[in-house]
Amino acid sequence: MSVSMTPTVGGDEDKRLSFQEQLELVKLPREGQAHRYISTRSAYLPGSDFAKGKELPSFHSAAFGGHVYAQAGLAAYRAWRETEKEKGVPEHARLDIHTINGYFTRIGLASRPFIYTASPVTASRTFSTVSVTATQPSVPSNSPSEDHYPAEDASLPQYPPAFTALLSFKLPEPDWDGTVSEQEAPPQERFASILSSRKPEEWPPAPPVDITGVVEIVGDDQVGTFPIAEMKKVDMKEYNEGKPVHERRELLLYRLLKPLPDDEDGKSGYDANAHVLVHAFVADRNGLLMAGNHIGLGYSLGRAASLSYHFVMHVEAKAAVMREEDGWWIQEVWFPRAGRGRGIVESKIWSPSGVHVATEYQDGLIQGFGGKLLKEKEVSGQEAKL
């Protein structure tokens, strides 16, 4: 993140948007076999939403990476669904999102729309792939509010791609022999004493910018305007005390802000795969910042930026559906490697009933001011400790 002295604007949690609002797409005319879409709402900008009186200098101008990641997934999913419908594939034979393999190639601007181009790459009855790229206009939007973007923005001159991804889609199938399904004990069991010490809603909100020094200044009660999901951060300080970095854990609890349809026929424009994308959106939040805290850059983080992000579903999309009556989902996060100015964030997505639904693996830049402090940590043995 680059530091500037532009003051941020105080936020209001009532402005938090639902999945349908935040990631809304408008279909554009096709270009050959390529399906095209444009976003309509500005991406979330972390740190722009501290409460009035708690504003800090702006840390960066880069949009939240989870926005383009999940929205690109939505564009690819819609392109694939449209392809299936054109081929007459019956509902029971349609494929679900299996993996999202994304690469961040340019800073995304929160003040401009993303234009997505999605093209089927391979197609079979049980396993298929779709590529998607996201670009942005190189000139300001036609919208004076820098939000509610008009479709004509897609005709503006474009920067090179800010993001590219390959998604795989797979036909759901049962466990082998109907019985084989293995996973480790869920966090609801392994961290039962910690999780049971408070009701889920009593944990503090996940910070808008989870950098130790920032949280100490603004407080741990900042809700902000992070869209789509309500998120809580479990206090893991006592558990992590004295452990090497790779053994530490962070737990985030989350649930939808507003209901999201999961129509079998997708008539609403959303089915269970939209819920998969909610989990992918949430999993990208604050991971590299938390890694920076754990490797000693909580007061001197100069830059954190995603390079690649991989999300793998272990179950069918239906198992990812988030229902209010089911309770809170858990993201379990850890940090297995840091060095050479980069860090790895891994996390598991757990359902309220303790099913390991998906895994995230992210590689990104984590650097101290001037890129020097992380190197000093390496020399002093931080790499070995990891």
pLDDT digits (tens, 9 = 90+) for 286-338: 999 999 999 999 999 989 999 999 999 999 999 999 999 999 999 999 999 99
Q: What's the whole-number average pLDDT of the chain?
A: 90
pLDDT at 14: 73
pLDDT at 175: 74
180 vs 325, higher pLDDT: 325
Nearest CA to 348 out of 185, 193, 163 is that of 185
pLDDT at 37: 98
pLDDT at 56: 73
pLDDT at 59: 58
Whether 376 has a pLDDT exceeding 90, the answer reads no
Catalogue the E-assigned strands of 41-189: 96-104, 115-122, 127-135, 163-170
pLDDT at 13: 60
pLDDT at 65: 97
Whether 187 has a pLDDT exceeding 60, the answer reads yes
Sheet holding 25-31, edge to edge: 25-31, 34-39, 115-122, 127-135, 163-170, 96-104, 301-313, 356-368, 342-350, 329-339, 250-256, 229-233
pLDDT at 266: 61
Whether 374 has a pLDDT exceeding 50, the answer reads no
Query: 3-class SS at 262?
Result: coil
Whether 8 has a pLDDT exceeding 70, the answer reads no
Whether 11 has a pLDDT exceeding 60, the answer reads no
Handedness of CA 120, 275, 21, 2 (dihedral sign): negative
- Give the distance between the most distant pair of CA atoms in the chain: 61
Per-residue pLDDT band for 178 (boundaries 50, 70, 90) equals: low
pLDDT digits (tens, 9 = 90+) for 217-254: 999 999 999 999 999 999 999 999 999 999 999 999 99
pLDDT at 191: 98
Q: How far apart are CA 223 and CA 211, in angstroms?
A: 15
pLDDT at 375: 40
Whether 189 has a pLDDT exceeding 70, the answer reads yes
pTM as predicted: 0.91
90: buried, middle or exposed (CB in 10 Å: 19+, 13-18, 0-12)? exposed
pLDDT at 264: 66
Whether 66 has a pLDDT exceeding 70, the answer reads yes
